[in-house]
Amino acid sequence: MPFVKVYIHFVWSTKNRIPFLATKEIRQKVWAHIKENAKEKGIFIDFINGYTDHCHCLVSLGSNQTIEKVMQLIKGESSFWINKEKLTVEKFQWQSEYFAVSVSESILDKVRTYIKNQEEHHSKKTFQEEYEEFIKKYNFKRFDD
């Protein structure tokens, strides 16, 4: 049996950054569902939260899991469920792009706190501003650069 401990901080947004997850009640339902569904699929979500137009998820990858497959399972099933439950007026979709960055065990608590405080964080900064910061901080290259 392999012993694996690889943490990934995922961030993804709603399609076109539409604030589909407008209320705290909707967000709590969605995060709880994502966590429960992930557990059923053998995906360990350490922490999840977000705001009206995006989600942050700290995941501990299993030895046979890939970033792409984890995102496909989480995003695909959750958008299907949100639409089935009619949690939004319009058809719900996640944006296809996402961020995935590795997290050192030494800063797990810092990342959990950051994810936990999304509502407060976004009272001062938009997701677009946060997105731009991620691009710079992690030196991501854009296709249009």
Residue 143 confidence class, pLDDT cut points 50, 70, 90? low
Residue 142 placed within a domain: no
Task: Tell me the CATH number at 77.
Answer: 3.30.70.1290
pLDDT > 70: percent of the chain? 97
Domain range for 71: 6-137
Q: Say whether pLDDT at 62 is over 50.
A: yes
Distances 10 to 38, 47, 56, 63, 83 between C-alpha atoms, Å: 14, 10, 6, 18, 22
Contact present, 42 and 1 (Cβ < 8 Å): no
As a whole number, mean pLDDT of residues 62-83 equals 97
Residues in the chain: 145
Residue 145 placed within a domain: no
